[in-house]
Every structure is written in structure tokens, then in C-alpha cells.
Amino acid sequence: MLEVRNITKTIDTFALKNISFEVTQGEYFVLLGKSGVGKTILLEIISGLLEPDNGRIILDGHDVTREKIQKRHIGIVYQDKALFPHLSVQENLSYPLRCRRVSRKEIDARIEQLAEDIGAIDKDLQWPVYCIDWEQAANELRVDYSEVDYDGETYYYR
């Protein structure tokens, strides 16, 4: 379980003030808000890239607020340019697990479960990341790849 307790952070004229919430194991949790409201700063605090001015981050009952990022085992994926464009979707998903020396069998099982959870099919995971129109993919998780054209720069769906 992740507990965010009264997180406060001031950067220049911007401030997060007393942000608190809990996310239980297996729960999907989404931060929504306009650009500039502090979503990324909060995620950077949770992952350990930034330290809060006040408040605590509790992970599975342990206070990790001042722990090094490597000990938290929390990742952050930025909205843009956070993926390795030369790798497939599956390779991008498995990268942090491989860095932690998770077995290939467990990686495959976890990615298979994720694909099932989001309704992706095996073909979806094999495409290189740069081939995917992520906005369209969010609307249509299943694409008939026989309907895809490539002009040397861009992939088009017919």
C-alpha cells in the first residue's frame, strides 16, 4: 500500500500543500488535473526524485520519505519521451524488471497479465514504440495491423 501523508513542496512561486491519499495493492490510481497543477512534482516526490518540504511517503508500512530512490522500487513514466523508441512495447515494459534482475519467466507472466488487464493482444506488444499512435491506441487498443501503411516517416492506419 502507498500512503501519501500531508505532502508539501514549494518551488519558486508554486506550492503543493498538504496532499494526502492512499492507494491499496492492486488498485489503479490516476492523478488528473490541468497542466501546471503539480502532478509531476507529486510523482517525483513519491518516486524519490524530489524531497518534500513536509509530509511522509509510506510504502507497505515503511516510511520511505528520505530513502534513496534505488531502495523505493517505484518508477515514474513521463508523458513524453520516456520510452526507448527503438524497443518494442513489451521490451519497454520489461526494462525496469530486467534491471532488477527479475526472471524472464516472471517478467513474461507480469507483462501477460498487464496485457490482459488492458485488453492488448500479443501483436500490440511486439510493435516498436515509435510505430504506435498512442492517442489512437488509447481509444482502440486492438488495431488490425494489416491496415497499416508506412511512408518512410509515419505509420498510417487505412
CA distance 121 to 157: 18
| Range 123-144 burial, b when 16+ CB lie within 10 A, else e | ebbebbbeebeeeeeeeeeebe
CA distance 88 to 123: 10
Q: What is the domain partition of the chain in residue ranges?
A: 2-72, 89-157
- Residue-wise pLDDT for 92-125, tens only, equals 778 878 877 889 999 888 888 877 777 776 666 6
State the 10-residue block means of pLDDT for the chain, 158 residues long: 94 91 86 84 91 95 90 73 69 80 88 77 61 48 44 47
Is residue 95 within 8 A of residue 77, CB to CB? The reply is no
Look at the pTM and tell me if it is higher than 0.85. no
Q: For 2-72, give the CATH class.
A: alpha beta
CA distance 109 to 100: 16
